[in-house]
Chain A
Amino acid sequence: MLNLSLQSLSLGLEKKTFSSQELTKFYLERIKRHNTSLNAFISIDEDKSLLMAKKSDELIAEGRPSPLTGIPIAQKDIFCAQGWPATCGSKMLENFIAPYDATVIEKFNAAGAVNIGKTNMDEFAMGSSNETSYFGPVKNPWNLELVPGGSSGGSAAAVAARLAPAATGTDTGGSIRQPASLCGFTGLKPTYGLVSRYGMIAFASSLDQAGPMAISAEDCALMMNVMTGHDKRDSTSVERDKEDYMSQLNGSIKGLKIGIPKEFFSQGLDPSVQTLVESAIEQYKNLGAEIIEISLPNNHLAIPVYYVIAPAEASSNLSRYDGVRYGYRTKEYDDLMDMYFKTRQEGFGNEVKRRILIGTYVLSAGYYDAYYLKAQKIRRLISEDFTNAFKKCDVIMGPSAPSVAFKAGEKKEDPLAMYMQDIYTISTNLAGLPAMSIPAGFTNNLPVGLQLIGNYFSEAKLLNIAHSYQQHTDWHLQSAKGFD
C-alpha cells in the first residue's frame, strides 16, 4: 500500500477497492502516529480533509473522477488554502487563516484531490535544513538526528515516511531538490512561470517556483498535469498550451546526450555522493545514453549572486508583514515606529531578519549598482552558460546536494556552510530552468539524489529520462524504516 503509485491508488479508488475516505483516514492515522517524532505537519484538520474525501467519493460514485480524485496530497504551508492556516513557518503568520485559494490549491481541489494537511517548512522558505521554522525543526525519517533538508522539509519528511502519497513543495534555490536528495524521493522544480505563483507566499518572486514531491517520476508527471497552466492572476505565468506530462514517459533514451559539468564534481562534493552519482550516470550510459563533458564556468558565482537577488526581493516582499492588517502584532507599543520595530523584531526569526538586512543593504542608495545590478548581470552570464551547454547536450546531470543529510544543529550557526548546500541547485533557479532530483542509491543508509537539469519547458522529457532510470532501479521505492 505505502509504495503504491498515484495511478495505482487512483485505480483502487475507481475500482472501489477502497474509498477516498478510507484512504484519507489511513494517512491521517499515520500522521497522528508519526508526526510527533517527525514534526512534518504544521496543521492537520481531519474534518476538512474527510469532508473533501467524502466529496471525492461522490465524484467517483458518479463516475466522474480525474486522475487525482480522492488522493491525499500534503500541501506545503506556503500555499494559501481557504479556511486553512497558512503560516509559512513563521510566528508572523501563526494565526493567519487564508481567506482564499492559491491557484495550485484551486487546481488540486478542482481535480478532487484531498488536502491531507499543511507541511512544515523553513520560515518563509529561507533555509536548507528546516531548522528555521517557528514550529520547530523537521526530522529526517532515515535518521531522526539528521535534517530533512529545506525549505520544503515537512513535505520531504511526509513523502519519505509515507505520511502522504505525495506533496507539494516550492523551490527558490533548491528547496524541492535538496530535501528530495536528503530524504530519498523524486522532486521536480519546473521552468519558472510554468506553475502559477498566485497564492503562494512570496520569498523571492523572480526565483520561486512550485513543483511536485513524490515517490516516482511518474507520480510527479501526474501532479504536473494538475499543477501547470497559464494563470492570468500571475503576470509571470507563461502562456503556452498545456502538456500531458504522462505522454512521453515511455519514450526511448537511446542516443540521449547527457552533459556532465566538471564544476559539479569539484571540491566540496562528498566522495561517497560522487561515487553514487557517477554510477547512476554509468547506468544511463548502459541504457544507451552518450556522456559529454561540459562546462558551466560561472557556476561558482551562483551562490553570491543568489544571496544578493533573493534577499533583495525578500526584503521588499516581506515588508507587508507590518502588524497593521493581519498576522502578528506586538502587544504593547508607544507609537507607530515602536509598533513596527517590535512587531517585526518579535515576529521574524533570525534567518529571515538576516536576509531582510542583506536585501535592504544591497538595494540601498550607493550600493545598488555594486550589488543588485552587478548580480543581475552575472545572473545573465549564468543563464548563458546553460544556453551554451544545451547546444551540446539534451540534459545535464550531477549531484543534487554536496552531501547526504547532516546533523541537526551542525550548520545552524554557520550560514555560509548552510548556503553551500544549494551549490548545485541555485544556478538553475537563476536561469529559470527545470530540474529534478531522483534517488540514486544509499551511502551509510542515507539516500543520495541525482540531479537532472533540462532546457526550458523540457519537463516532459526530463520526466521520461527519470522514469527510464526508475524502470531499471528501485532506489525510489525504498522508504525509511520505522514508520509502520
Chain B
Amino acid sequence: MDWDIVIGIETHVQLRTKSKQFSGASIEYGNEPNSQACLVSLAYPGVLPVLNHESVNCAIKFGLAVNAEIAPRSIFARKNYFYPDLPKGYQISQFELPIVGQGILSINVNGQNKNVRILRAHLEEDAGKSSHGVSQGKTGIDLNRAGTPLLEIVTEPDMSSAEEAVAYSKKLHELVQWIGICDGNMQEGSFRCDVNVSVKKKGTDILGTRREIKNLNSFKFIKQAIDYEVNWQIETLEDGGKIDQATILFNPETGETKAMRSKEEANDYRYFPDPDLLPLLVTQKQINEIKQTMPKLPGEFQELFEKELGLSEYDASEITSNSNVTKYFLSLVDSGVNPKLSANWILGSLFSRLNEEDINISHSPIDAKRLAELIKRIEDSTISNNAAKKVFDFVWDKSDITIDKAIEDLGLKQISDSGEIDQLIDEVLKNNQAMIEEYRSGKEKAFNALVGQIMKVSKGKANPSQVNEILKKKITK
C-alpha cells in the first residue's frame, strides 16, 4: 500500500535578548546552576512578571520576515501544570491571541520550490532544567534557563517527507539567525524542534493520528527520527494496528522513537489570560520602525542577485542560503570582482575546502578580501583560472604570504607578452604543418589541438585568449 507522510513542526527559538522574558536576570548559557535564578525565576511569593520588550521586537522581526500579520493586540496566558523545574506552577505563554499570525516560508527540495505555511508564532518563557540522579535518589533543579524568552513557531502540516522537514528546519534556522533574533546554537538548545508526524493512505484527505516527537536539536536527528517514526507508523497500520496520539522521544543512540505519555495522561493546562500582564499592544509605527532596521531577507537578495548581477537561480539560491555566505559574496562583489566569477569561486573551491575541513565561512582562512585579490589576478590575465586554483590551495594555510608573491613563487604568472606568445606559436606551427592544412580545409578541431600544443609548450602559462587570437590571425589566410 502507498502512504502519504504528513509533517508539521513546532520550533522553539531562543531569542537573543540580554535578559529573561519577564525579569532582568541574565540568560547566558553554561553558568553555575541557579546563579541566574532571581526572585522571579524562583517564583517567590509576591513577585510579578515584567515583559522584556526586546523579545517583542524579535517576534515582530520574525513576523515581518515570513510576511505574517503582527497582531496589534495579543494576550499572555498561563499554561498551568506542576513540575519541579516550572517554579510558578504555570508557564507564561500566548494561547488564543499570539503576536504573529499566518505567514509563509518557502523551501527548496531537489530543485522544487514549496511553500510551508506558518500557522502562528507566539512568545513564551522556557522552563528550568531537571538533572536526575545528581546525588543518589535526588533530582537537581537548575533555574538558570527558567524564564528564558522563546518564540514558538508553528507550521501547518505542510511537509510530506523527512527531506522537506529538514529543509524547512534548516531554512528557519538560517532565517532566525539572519534577522538576528537567535544565535542558532542547537547544541545549547537555542533551536529545538517538535515534529508532528502522521501517515495517511495515498489519495485520501483524512489525516491519520499524529504523534509528536519532542525536542529534536539537530537536523540529523530530525531526519532519523522521522524516518524511524514513519516506518513504525506504516508497519503498525499495515499490521492492522492503530496509532494513538502520543508524545514521543527520539533516542539518538538507538535511532528509535518511544512514547513518553499518551493522550489519556495528557495535562489539562487550564489556559487563561495572565492577570499580571496587560494585553500586548503593537502599533503600526513600532512595526515600521523595526522594518527599517531589518536586513534584506534571503529571498530579496536572491532576486537581486539574479536580476541585477546575472547569477543563475541555482547560484543565487546557494549564495543566499546562509547570511555569512551572502556577506562573503557581497564583499567580493563590493571589491569590484565579477559577480559570476565570485559565485563560482565560493560555490566551487572555497566551499569544497571549507566542507573538507568543517570550517564556517565566517572563519575562512582565505577571507573575502584575499579571494578578491586572487580573482582580480584572473581578471587582469596575470594568471589563468587553473593557475588560480593552485594559488588558492597554496595560500590556504599561509596567511603571511601575499597573493602576488605566491603567484611569483609558484611561477604561475601568465605569459601575456604578445612577442613571447608569437614566438611560442611560431615554434609549434613549424612542426605541425599538417594540422594547419587540416584547419584550412575546414576542420575546426585542428585549431583546438594547436592551442593545446601551444599551452603545453608554455607550461600552461600562455594567456589562452591571446593565444587564440594570434593563432587565428597566423593560420587564417
**A contacts, CB < 8 Å to B:** 79-80, 86, 88, 93, 96, 98-100, 102, 197-202, 204-206, 232-236, 312-313, 315-316, 318-320, 322, 324-326, 336, 340, 360, 363-365, 368, 372
Contact B50 A232 (CB under 8 A): yes
Contact B275 A235 (CB under 8 A): no
Rounded to whole angstroms, the CA-CA distance of A363 and B271 in the bound complex is 7
Contact B270 A360 (CB under 8 A): yes
- Indicate whether B339 reaches chain A with its CB closer than 8 angstroms: no
Contact B46 A319 (CB under 8 A): no
Q: Which of B244-273 contact A (CB under 8 A)?
A: 268, 270-272
Top 8 A-B pairs, shortest CB-CB distance? A319-B89, A363-B270, A206-B275, A205-B275, A199-B46, A320-B43, A201-B45, A80-B46
- B-chain residues with CB within 8 Å of residue A96 when the two chains form the complex: 45
Residues A99 and B44 in contact in the complex (CB < 8 Å), given A316-B78, A324-B84: yes
* B74 CB to nearest chain A CB (Å): 14
Contact B47 A199 (CB under 8 A): yes
Instruction: Determine the residue in chain A with the shortest Cβ distance to B278.
Output: A235
- B-chain residues with CB within 8 Å of residue A199 when the two chains form the complex: 46-47
* B448 CB to nearest chain A CB (Å): 78
Contact B272 A316 (CB under 8 A): yes
- Indicate whether B20 reaches chain A with its CB closer than 8 angstroms: no
Residues A364 and B45 in contact in the complex (CB < 8 Å), given A235-B50, A319-B82, A319-B88: no
Query: Digit string of B87-119 for contact with A (CB within 8 Å is 1, else 0)?
Result: 111100000000000000000000000000000
Contact A235 B51 (CB under 8 A): yes
**Given A325-B87, A363-B270, 16 more pairs with CB closer than 8 A:** A80-B45, A86-B45, A88-B45, A199-B46, A201-B45, A202-B46, A202-B276, A204-B275, A235-B276, A236-B277, A312-B272, A315-B270, A319-B90, A340-B82, A363-B80, A363-B272
Rounded to whole angstroms, the CA-CA distance of A232 and B278 in the bound complex is 13
- Residue of A200, A234, A336 near B84 (CB, 8 A) is A336
Contact A235 B46 (CB under 8 A): no
Contact B82 A235 (CB under 8 A): no
* A405 CB to nearest chain B CB (Å): 30
- B-chain residues with CB within 8 Å of residue A234 when the two chains form the complex: 48, 50
- A-chain residues with CB within 8 Å of residue B275 when the two chains form the complex: 204-206, 236, 313
- Residue of A198, A316, A318 near B47 (CB, 8 A) is A198
Contact A201 B87 (CB under 8 A): no
- A-chain residues with CB within 8 Å of residue B48 when the two chains form the complex: 197-198, 233-235
* A80 CB to nearest chain B CB (Å): 5
- Indicate whether B39 reaches chain A with its CB closer than 8 angstroms: yes
Query: Considering residues A100, A318, A363, A368, which has the most beta carbons from chain B within 10 angstroms of its beta carbon?
Result: A363
- A-chain residues with CB within 8 Å of residue B454 when the two chains form the complex: none
- Indicate whether B42 reaches chain A with its CB closer than 8 angstroms: yes
- B-chain residues with CB within 8 Å of residue A322 when the two chains form the complex: 82, 84, 89
* B190 CB to nearest chain A CB (Å): 26
Contact A365 B268 (CB under 8 A): yes
- Indicate whether B455 reaches chain A with its CB closer than 8 angstroms: no
24 A-B contacts (beta carbon < 8 Å)? A86-B46, A98-B45, A98-B46, A102-B46, A198-B46, A198-B48, A200-B46, A201-B46, A205-B275, A232-B50, A233-B50, A234-B50, A235-B48, A235-B50, A312-B272, A319-B88, A319-B90, A320-B45, A320-B87, A322-B89, A324-B84, A326-B42, A336-B84, A360-B270
Rounded to whole angstroms, the CA-CA distance of A340 and B46 in the bound complex is 21
Contact A316 B89 (CB under 8 A): yes
Instruction: Determine the residue in chain A with the shortest Cβ distance to B78.
Output: A316
Rounded to whole angstroms, the CA-CA distance of A364 and B80 in the bound complex is 10
